[in-house]
Amino acid sequence: MDRILEIIERNRSFLITSHERLDGDALGTELALYAWLCQQGKMADIYNQDATPENYQFLPGSEVILNELPAVGRYDAAFIVDCSDLSRVGRGYEKIADIGTLVNIDHHISNTRFCEVSFVDPRASSAGELLYRLITRKGNPVSSDIATNLYAALLTDTGGFHYGSTGRETLIAAGNLVGWGANPQEISEKIYENNPLAKIRLLARALETLAFDLGGRVGFMVVWRSVLQAVGAIPDYTEGFVDLPRSISGVEVSALFSEQEDGSFKVSFRSKGKVDVERVARAFDGGGHRNASACRIRGDFETVKRRVLDVIQDGF
């Protein structure tokens, strides 16, 4: 942490970025870091390959996010947050690699330590929790904008503070953020109760595919591209779907198979704890956490499903 604080102190201009298919932790951490750097008189830009999902556009500062990468020569250093490997940034990651100093803030156990400076703690609930540690170590005042963004990061990556990664320090941080201006009800409503109608229609179609295997210990759903198009949805709308099969009594592992444009499947996993789904994802060159992970697999659905179930079965 002290090394990162030194990098901020001695440099003037920073690029901030995160992974494809943005979630609340990625966006909340980026925006909190941006506000914190600006508060210290630094110049900063946020670049994301993908557009900000609708339910996160309320986050303070989200309007400054760029979806085209500026000339990287203008930056002294870059922060890559909530990202286990630089390639996960997507478009432009090769250019970002040329920036003088790269700093990684991440909590994925599959992190490859790809940066010169890596602040990685797989025990942390979120990248937002790690940034909270940095900010409080520095001792700067925490604005309500920073508090709101960090609270959103913690809230979403802990599944509303009920995943196993929710520790004592996570809850202390959340409490302090509320004291500094984060509004739990408003943030939760805007993230979880502001769904476009197309997402609900997509969910209804996905639930029609709900199936079980391995004696009911695995539940899974499929989202086909043709269904996305039929209901007018986009891939971002599948966020949270993977949690539904896990909520069923007897299900230990849930999976969501999402058909991609190239014919492959993105497979998201959730576990109640008995099965290490990070190990499952890693078998297919993916990664994540023990209870939440993802990967991409090429092949027809039945073959992909069988391969996934075989690896899951080995984990019981």
Q: What is each CA distance from 260 to 29, 97, 146, in whole angstroms?
A: 27, 27, 35
End-to-end CA distance of the chain: 38
Taking a C-beta distance cutoff of 8 angstroms, is the pair 65, 268 a contact?
Answer: no
Contacts of 313 (CB under 8 A, 6+ apart): 214
What pLDDT does residue 219 have?
Answer: 97
178 by DSSP, 3-state: which? helix
Domain topology for 197-315: Diaminopimelate Epimerase; Chain A, domain 1 (3.10.310)
What pLDDT does residue 289 have?
Answer: 85
Domain topology for 2-192: inorganic pyrophosphatase (n-terminal core) (3.90.1640)
Residue spans of the domains in the chain: they are 2-192, 197-315
Q: Report pLDDT digits (tens) over 195-240.
A: 999 999 999 999 999 999 999 999 999 999 999 999 999 998 998 9
Q: Report pLDDT digits (tens) over 138-150.
A: 998 899 999 999 9
**Residue 66: pLDDT over 90:** yes
Q: Please, which pLDDT band fits residue 109 given cuts at 50, 70 and 90?
A: confident
Share of the chain above pLDDT 70, in %: 100
**Residue 24: pLDDT over 90:** yes
